[in-house]
Structure 1
């Protein structure tokens, strides 16, 4: 089924999912509605207009010192010096226009195989990984917390499991089969040493929530065909 937003057909071929394509179209239409974007503008102009739109209509609260301290106290494992993991991965890259369901199916089938026969990991990485690390059997070496994209970071640092992780790790680059071979816990850092980092993490989380709510408001006002986006009943902005 084709995707339409307020009667306008959406080209989903360049997006990882129909939902993301629909969200982009919602934002484009809202920017045009507010005279931030001209009809027929190119992709660069659309991206700039959407940035202006979000800056105008999405309010992201600054975390207070008290909120930062509470977060730090509740998540001490996140703030350690010298914390490292030794990890390997196999990347199934997702790029615009690629058939995402088919790529996911191949990755899931290989994950099942490697969970039963982990000794095949190096060979499969050399054969199939879209990451340069595939030439080294998927070896990523020692990773510090914060050195990878957030989704990958969370997968390898949260928890205590060793070996091949039971599920695919989905990041902006695609689907990863990940093996954690060693964990080095490190030493706890005092709050004063990581206060700025805590504030940045809370700000990023607040931005993600605010953007999600804003999109749900737009979806609640829109006529959507061929895609389902969770709608919000009340507006985020007046």
Structure 2
């Protein structure tokens, strides 16, 4: 049986001549130029990734706002200028002046403490072994996931042989710990990738129990089968001991929300072309 690839009836195929460039040029049109209030963020035909475009757009919004506040001189060109250190300092000072960051109250700090006690435990540690299925360039992630799920299913059976985990770790794991049956020894939250530390230590379900975790852990390194052999629960310091740490965390979160609202207002007041930015046209946006 043969398969056919269906093409869109709107696709431009060109004239069909191998010596003609019309097909390739039609298939890859020049990118639309991104503009902020008529000022281009890049040269015509230049291709930039979405993250770079967003960064340029936000920088241009801030520059234009500083010009409107008579903090910077007006730009006469049609493409956004590159800012020097002095101009950046002026813009940063403008942001500090205009963005009000509410300071958390003691009541807010205590509520956070009560809701996130696992984050403040001291001395907690786990004796862990794992099997790593590494995600590397070119790997078939779907096939790798199926392979990892099969191994997890086998290890989750009640009748699995005691030495099977170490055997599979030696055969399948892409971590050097495979030579020790996947044994990582005793680890603390600081020893893990942040996403793994959250799952193993900081979530409520992570505070009790041992054995093979019923699902795969996904980190920047790949997929992990995790077996908790032993645990030290640690101790919880009093709120007064971590009050300043909580206040700093809540202040940082508050600052991030205030900056997001500030930039959303600037976006909402501007004419944006060629790039999608989240904006708001009301100072009451939350």
TM-score of the pair, normalised by structure 2? 0.55
2:145 pairs with 101, 105, 115, which one? 115
Counterpart check, 1:72 vs 2:109: no
Q: Which has the larger radius of gyration?
A: 2
Bigger drift between 75-84 and 14-23 goes to: 14-23
Counterpart check, 1:16 vs 2:46: no
Gaps of 5+ in 1: 93-105, 126-138, 169-174
Q: In the alignment, what sits opposite 2:67?
A: 32
Counterpart check, 1:196 vs 2:244: yes
Q: Please give the residue correspondences for 1:1-238 in structure 2 after superposition, counting only pairs within 5 Å.
A: 1-11=32-42, 13=48, 16-38=51-73, 39=75, 42-84=83-125, 111-118=141-148, 122=174, 142=187, 144=189, 157-159=201-203, 164-166=216-218, 177=222, 179=224, 181=226, 185-235=233-283
In angstroms, what is the RMSD of aligned CA positions? Answer: 4.0
What is the CA distance between 1:72 and its match in structure 2?
0.8
Distance 2:240 2:272 in 1: 48
Aligned residue pairs total: 201
> Does the CA-based 8 Å contact 2:99-2:258 persist in structure 1?
yes
> Does the CA-based 8 Å contact 1:165-1:180 persist in structure 2?
yes
Distance 2:100 2:107 in 1: 20
> RCO greater where, 1 or 2, for CA within 8 Å and sep 6 or more?
1
Bigger drift between 3-12 and 48-57 goes to: 3-12
Gaps of 5+ in 2: 1-31, 76-80, 149-168, 177-183, 207-212
- Secondary structure at the aligned position of 1:210 is classed as helix
1:138-189 CA distances to partner (integer Å, 9 max, x unpaired)?
Answer: x9x94535x89977865775445757534x6xxxxxx664648457653222
> Does the CA-based 8 Å contact 2:196-2:217 persist in structure 1?
no
Distance 2:133 2:239 in 1: 33
TM-score of the pair, normalised by structure 1? 0.64
Greater strand share, 1 or 2? 1
What is the CA distance between 1:8 and its match in structure 2?
1.2
> Does the CA-based 8 Å contact 2:66-2:91 persist in structure 1?
yes
